[in-house]
Amino acid sequence: MIRYASRLPPGRGCELLEDGKTVRKTVKCSEEYTLIFMQVLVKHFINHPDPLVVPVSRFEIIENTQYNHRYSYDMEFLGMLSKEEKLFIDRVGDLHDQFGADALNQDYDLYPERHSLPRLFSYLKEVIALNRYHDLHAGNIMIDLDENYRIIDLEGFYYFSLYNSSNNWITR
């Protein structure tokens, strides 16, 4: 059974909308090229839903001045992970920080979780193999109604310039 947070963390720029099914995330960034990257990225996910990523339904530029750049996007409200799932994601995220795409091929004892959390292990293996997401930790993954894991923090896809060849997967 999926558990949902009774409230969203204060001060994080996220609010649960009145429909009770949608979260709006509002972000301030310091550079206009970050704003443009996020606009293209979120619109990509709106037009090309990805089973690894939370469904996104809306993007809006709130402010775009010389020194202030703010945007928001709406995404599906997802369920919370178990303590075991969070700990495993954080372990794998630490390995990903150290070894990148080779994280799950290291000689570390992930054997218990491979068997106790096989769906999560497969999900993380796919996320890492694609080498598109760069902020892998338990706070950035949640679970949907069908018990599929989903990335919820889209800013973790921002790593290189939009026009870097590593971002060719993003449609423009």
Q: Name the one residue in this structure whose structure tokens are 């796919």.
A: 126
pLDDT of residue 113: 84
Mean pLDDT of 20-47: 95
pLDDT of residue 107: 62
In the chain, the domains with their CATH numbers are: 14-79 (3.30.200.20), 83-143 (no CATH)
DSSP 9: P
Amino acid at 130: L
pLDDT of residue 161: 85
Which runs of consecutive H residues, i.e. helices, occur in 65-117? 83-99, 111-116
pTM: 0.91
pLDDT of residue 111: 74
Q: State pLDDT tens for residues 74-107.
A: 999 999 999 999 999 999 999 999 888 888 876 6
Question: Strands 149-151, 141-143: parallel, antiparallel or unpaired by DSSP?
Answer: antiparallel
